[in-house]
Structure 1
Amino acid sequence: MNLDHIRYFQAIAYYEHYGRAAQALHVSQPNLNYAVTQLENELGVPLFEKHGRGVQLTRYGRLFLQSVNESLRILDAGTRDLQEMGRGGGLVLLGGIRKLAAQTVPDLMQKFLATSGNEHTRFELHTESSFTADLLQAVAEERLDMAFVSHPGDDTVFENVAFARSPFVVVTPPNHPLAQKSSVTLRETLPYPFVYFSKRGGLRRPIDALFQKIGATPKIAYETEEDTVVAGMAAAGFGIAIVPDHPVLRCMDLKIIPLTDPDPGRTAYLCRKRGALQPTAAQRFFAFCQAQLSQGAAL
């Protein structure tokens, strides 16, 4: 089926007149007659019928026009995307765990768009289930161009850019024995039960690593996945918790205590698949983020 013929059909359906359609398309009327005849022969149904000095769609033509309009819309959108990519613009598919997707990633997007030459770039930001494993899987399958996650992917599969994040803190109910302290070491938390991250959560691994540094195991009373839920359960008295420092904690009935030992510094990662064919805009954004994140400020 000839694409030009389909566009001719669409124009005739719009103008309901061969002559006006020919003028709008800058082609001869016999060319339109030939195109419609070819389409009708291929489809096996009449698409137009005479109506005064013009034409109107048959019921078959109306059905065909619906498919034509949708197909050409998708085709034209894809063509525009490729043209934007050729100019250094285009669509960048991003993923991020929710805490990074709420602030860090939008900040980077805004700075990138404000840089000369990036004005035509568009972004889609996805959180999937907000678990690092799911986001890395989406990057590996090239459903995402890159993702901001809490731990790195396999170095043989992913290119990982590490950057600093705000540190972990200990949170307790206001009446907890530790709540009177201005800071706390991890050893001082060992006598108390914990609300802890489940193994599926991306924060389980770095918190486990803190306890491994002191050769100890926490008393886990409850496990859950989301950091706001962990903090909420701690506020309700189900145990103390170690969570990332975040402004939302100050909206809860909690005592927030700096963790001084071991070093509670925390790292996140920007990951993309090695060797993946990416639009120019995605390549430029990845390089831009590398430069921004290498400055070392906690995000």
Structure 2
Amino acid sequence: MDLLSLRYFREVARREHISRAAEELRVAQPSVSRTIARLEAELGVRLFDRQGRAIRLNRHGAAFLTRVERALDELDDARREMADAAGLDDGSLAVAAETLLPLTELLAAFRAAHPGVTLRCLQSTPEVMRAQLRARDVDFCFASQPLSGPGLGAVRLLREEVLLAVPAGHPLAARERVTVAEIADEPFITTRQGNWQRALLERLFTAIGRRPVISCEGDEPGATHFLIAAGLGIGLIPALARPELPHVPLAWLHLDTPDCVRTLDLVRREDSYLSTAARRFRAMAVAHFAAREHPARPGQETGAG
């Protein structure tokens, strides 16, 4: 039983599909099939139930997978720890977020400060992020919704008000504050279900016993303000985005409800080794969003003395 066999088994077990596992591993399908067959022969039990070309992990396979994942995770952590101990100022880092647009400055600053670190970024829904953390496919997730699970820990990066944006010529444009009931019949531009903007919108409307009217939904929150400005509807946009859109013809209103807020957490598996690259990235992320949430005023002292 070698490490390659265990890695092949883990990939097949996660996908319950030989061809997809082979594609992910970038090897030929027959090689994966032979490896699984040899592993089952060595263990003396079937790890998968087979019906035609379909395979399903059975109870023996599930029990074996738990231990294999634990062993391979420990080996991966050991490799990263030894690389740190050797003083190698490189390594790799993978992060996931619902939208990557708010992270561009942070990611650029980290790459400039640590050019030797291989950085990989993924756009994922909360459900996918949970799976990515469980599989250790990513080091960190930027979560605007609760991302809980066994062994997961979070650092709060940000808590901000979410504003209602309307086109400049909208009848509500002169208002400073509205209730959710007052906009119950307005068409909304929002993201698909699963993203935080949609979850917040539906939560606000559930509180008044209504469902929002959705005129446009998509996967990229960064397009919302353009669609609102074009007069296609109204929408929820984080307050920190307002200074970045000075030339977009929008009016901004407060919603008269206490929970119209967005939080942003940096989530990781606490049982995994925190590499030097990961520690530096976490420190930069905390500092970056603290500066955005509490920007220094002109003439304000930023240092001691």
Q: CA deviation at 1:198?
A: 1.2
Aligned to 1:55: none
Q: In 1, are the aligned partners of 2:163 and 2:254 still within 8 Å (CA)?
A: yes
Matches within 5 A, 1:38-187: 83-87=83-87, 89-95=89-95, 96=97, 97-104=99-106, 109=110, 122-187=116-181
Aligned CA RMSD, in angstroms, stands at: 3.6
Q: In 1, are the aligned partners of 2:84 and 2:275 still within 8 Å (CA)?
A: no
Which 10-residue stretch deviates more, 249-258 or 178-187? 249-258
Q: Determine whether 1:188 maps to 2:182.
A: yes
Aligned to 1:240: 234
Provide the secondary structure at the position in 2 that maps to 1:178.
coil
Provide the secondary structure at the position in 2 that maps to 1:267.
strand
Q: In 2, are the aligned partners of 1:164 and 1:265 still within 8 Å (CA)?
A: no
Provide the secondary structure at the position in 2 that maps to 1:277.
coil
- Paired with 1:295 and 1:239, the residues of 2 have a C-alpha distance of 32
Provide the secondary structure at the position in 2 that maps to 1:180.
coil
Q: Percent identity?
A: 24
- Paired with 2:108 and 2:151, the residues of 1 have a C-alpha distance of 26
Distance change (3 Å), C-alpha of 1:231 and 1:85: farther
The residue identity in structure 2 corresponding to 1:155 is G
The residue identity in structure 2 corresponding to 1:255 is A
Matches within 5 A, 1:206-221: 206-221=200-215
The residue identity in structure 1 corresponding to 2:156 is A
What per-residue deviation string (whole Å, max 9, x for no partner) do you get for residues 70-96 of structure 1?
xxxxxxxxx999544543844251414
Provide the secondary structure at the position in 1 that maps to 2:278.
helix
Q: In 2, are the aligned partners of 1:171 and 1:256 still within 8 Å (CA)?
A: yes
Match of 1:262 among 248, 258, 261: 258
Q: In 2, are the aligned partners of 1:167 and 1:266 still within 8 Å (CA)?
A: yes
Q: In 1, are the aligned partners of 2:163 and 2:237 still within 8 Å (CA)?
A: yes
- Paired with 1:296 and 1:136, the residues of 2 have a C-alpha distance of 28
Distance change (3 Å), C-alpha of 1:234 and 1:85: farther
Q: What is the aligned length?
A: 212
Q: CA deviation at 1:272?
A: 0.8
What per-residue deviation string (whole Å, max 9, x for no partner) do you get for residues 189-240 of structure 1?
2131212221143432233223334443222222222223222222222211
Provide the secondary structure at the position in 2 that maps to 1:128.
strand
Aligned to 1:298: 293
**Structure 2-normalised TM-score?**
0.57
Aligned to 2:61: none
- Paired with 2:197 and 2:89, the residues of 1 have a C-alpha distance of 35
The residue identity in structure 2 corresponding to 1:271 is V
Stretches of structure 2 lacking an aligned partner (at least 5 in a row): 1-78, 295-305
Provide the secondary structure at the position in 1 that maps to 2:164.
strand
Aligned to 2:198: 204
Q: CA deviation at 1:148?
A: 1.8
- Paired with 2:188 and 2:220, the residues of 1 have a C-alpha distance of 15
The residue identity in structure 2 corresponding to 1:258 is H
Q: CA deviation at 1:268?
A: 0.9
